[in-house]
Amino acid sequence: MTDELKQDDLVKINYKPPKKDWMDTPVNFRHGTYIYPARAKNLKYLDLPNPREWSPTDEDWKLPENWKDIILNGMKERLDKYRSFKVFMDICVRCGACADKCHFFIGGGDPKNMPVLRAELIRSIYKGNFTAAGKILGRLNGARGLTKDVIKEWFYYFYQCTECRRCSVFCPYGIDTAEITMMGRELLTLLGCNVNWVLEPAANCYRTGNHLGIQPHALKDMFEMLLDDIEDRTGVKIEPTFNRKGAEILFVTPSADYFADPGIYTCMGYLMLFHELGLDYTWSTYASEGGNFGLFTSHEMIKRLNAKIYAEAKRLGVKWIIGGECGHMWRVIHQYMDTMNGPADFLEAPVSPITGTKFENAKSTKMVHITEFTADLIKNNKLKLDPSRNDKLRITFHDSCNPARAMGILEEPRYIIKNVCNNFFEMPENTAREQTFCCGGGAGLGTDEMMEIRMRGGMPRANAVQYVHDKHGVNRLTCMCAIDRATLTTLMEYWVPDVKVTGVHELVANALVMKGEKERIVDIRGEPLKEKKGEDDV
C-alpha cells in the first residue's frame, strides 16, 4: 500500500475539515482544554454521589451502573420542577442570533461553543427521550440516544461555558443558555462528574464559610496585614470588628478580596471607606465568602452555601447587609437568595445611615451592592475625594457579566469611577454594558489547567482592551468581580501586558481624603502616586 504513495501525494494536504455531523464528532480531551475532576473527598464531604478517582482522559469514567436511568430520571425531575428548562428545550427555533455571540466560539471557532449547539447537546437527548416527534423521527428531528460519549461531551462543553449570559441578550425568545448549562452540570453532578476547581471551594465553604477554608483566627491575621499596610500608606489606623453582635450592618465580600492580589487593594478600599464614615458595621468570620460555587454545581448547592449569609445576619442581629465587589455572588443574591433562603423578615429595609437614602431595590433581599452604597454617598457629597491621586492611571471599565446582565448595575460603578479619577475611557459599545464580553474564566473555569481555553475565551474582551490601550493609552482595567480580578490579570499578561487590573474601591481608596491622614505619596499598592517624568506610563 505505502509503495503506491508518491512523494507528491504525501504533501497534498486537504485543509478542509471533514464534513461530519456534530453528533458524530466525539470530544478530544487534550491537556489545557479540560478541568481536573473533583477529588473523591470533596464529593464525600458534600454528600454527592459516586466519589472516586478518575480522569476525563480515561476510557472508563467509572459511572454508576444505572447511569442512564439516573440521567433520564434527573431530566424528568427537572423538566417538571423548572418550567424555564422545559420552555428552553421546546422553544428554540434555531434562528442563529446567539450563534456568534459566545466568546469561546468567537475566540476559538469550535461550533459546539455556539450557544445554540451547546444547548442542542442536551436538547437532542430531551427530544429522543421526552418528545413523541423525537422518538419517531430520531435524527431527522434532531434527536439522539443517550450514550457514554454524550456524557463526555457534556462534561467537555458545559465546562466550556462561563454562564456569562451574553448569548441570552440576543435571543429573541429570551432563552437563558446559562440555565441550560446549569441543568447540564446538575445532571453531571448526579453521576459524580464534577471538577475540582469548583467542588473544593464548595466543600471548604460548606465547612468553614469560605473558599480556602480559612479559619477565624487566620482570617483575622490576614486583616492585620491589610490594616498594617493601610496605616503604612495613609497614616490612619483602622480597627474593624468581627462577629460583633448588635452592629447595624453586616458586610460580606468574596474571600479573594482579603487574600489575593489585586483584590486586597479593593478590600483596603472598603476598610478605609467604612472607617472614614464611622459606619456601624461588622465583618463575619463565618459569612466570610460572598462567592458561591454552588451556582456552578446545582440549585441545591447554591441554597446550602448561601444560607450562611442570612443565618449570620440573624445571629448577629444586624439590620441589613452590604455586599462587596463580586460577580456571581450578585446573581445568587439578586435572583435566588430571596426565594431560596428568605424571606429575611427579621431584617429591615436598607437605609443608608449617612445619607438617609432608602434602597428600595433591596427592600426584599435586604442586601445592597457596595457600588450603590458608595455612589449614593458621592451623590450626596458625603466623601472628600481627590481624583488627581489617580492621575497616573488611565482607566477603562469592564462590566462584569453577572452585575451587568443579572442585576443591571451599570451606572453606579461608572459614576464612582468618574468621581475618583480624571481619565476614564469606555470600551466599544458592543463590548460593554449588557453586551460585555466575559473574562473567559467565570463559572469555575478560572483554573491554570484551563489556560489555553481561558486565553481564547478571553480574547474578545482583551481585543477591546487593546483598542482603548492603543487609542487612549489605557493602563488600568477596572472591574467589580473577584474572579475577574484574578482571571483578567492573567488575560492581560498574555494579550495586553501594559494593562493592570483593579477594583472600583481600590480607586476610591486612592482618592479618599481621610481625617488625620499623612501626606499621601504612595497609592494603596505602595507605589508612587505620581510617575516621575520620563517614566514609561502614558
Partner 1 sequence: MGLIDILSGKKEIIEKKWFDMIAASYPVNASSFLKNQKEQFANPVGNTIGEAVHTVIDVLIHEGTNEKANTCLDKLVKVRAVQDFAPSMAVDFLYMLKQLLKDELKNEFHTGGVYEEFLLIESRIDTMALFSFESYLKYKEKIYELKVNEFKNMAFRLLERANLTFEFKDEGPAFEKSVLERDTVK
Question: Under the rule (CB under 8 A), what is the footprint of partner 1?
Answer: 15-17, 19, 30, 32-33, 99-100, 105-111, 114, 212, 218, 221-222, 225, 259-261, 428, 430-431, 448-449, 451-452, 455-456, 459-460, 463-464, 467, 486, 490, 493-495
CA distances from 25 to 20, 107, 149, 299 (A): 7, 20, 10, 31
Pick between residue 16 and residue 532 the one whose CB is nearest to partner 1. 16
| Closer Cβ to partner 1, 96 or 246, answer by number | 96
CB of 460 to partner 1, least distance (A): 6
Least separation in angstroms between residue 392's CB and partner 1 is 21
Does residue 92 contact residue 175 with C-beta atoms inside 8 Å? yes
* CB of residue 32 to partner 1, shortest distance in Å: 8
CA dist list (Å): 525 to 262, 381, 418? 9, 26, 20
- Outline where 19-114 has alpha helix (H): 40-45, 67-81, 83-91, 103-108
CB of 383 to partner 1, least distance (A): 30
- Cβ closer to partner 1: 160 or 475? 160
What is the 3-state secondary structure of 116-148? HHHHHHHHHHHHHHHCHHHHHHHHHHCCCCCCH
- CA pair distance 464, 482, nearest whole angstrom: 20
CB of 480 to partner 1, least distance (A): 21
| Exposure class string for 136-174: b at 16+ Cβ within 10 A, else e | eeeeebbbbebeeebbbbbbbbbbbbbbbbbbbbbbeee
- Local structure of residue 369 (DSSP, 8 states): E
In the complex with partner 1, the residue whose CB is nearer, 300 or 449, is 449
Which CB atom, from 213 or from 342, has the smaller least distance to partner 1? 213
Structure-block grid coordinates of residue 455: 486565553
Minimum CB distance to partner 1, residue 108 (Å) = 6
**With respect to partner 1, which residue has the nearer C-beta, 212 or 383?**
212
In the complex with partner 1, the residue whose CB is nearer, 42 or 489, is 489
Least distance to partner 1 from the beta carbon of 14, Å? Answer: 9
- Measured CA to CA in angstroms, residue 473 lies from 9, 53, 468, 484, 498 at distances of 52, 49, 7, 21, 9
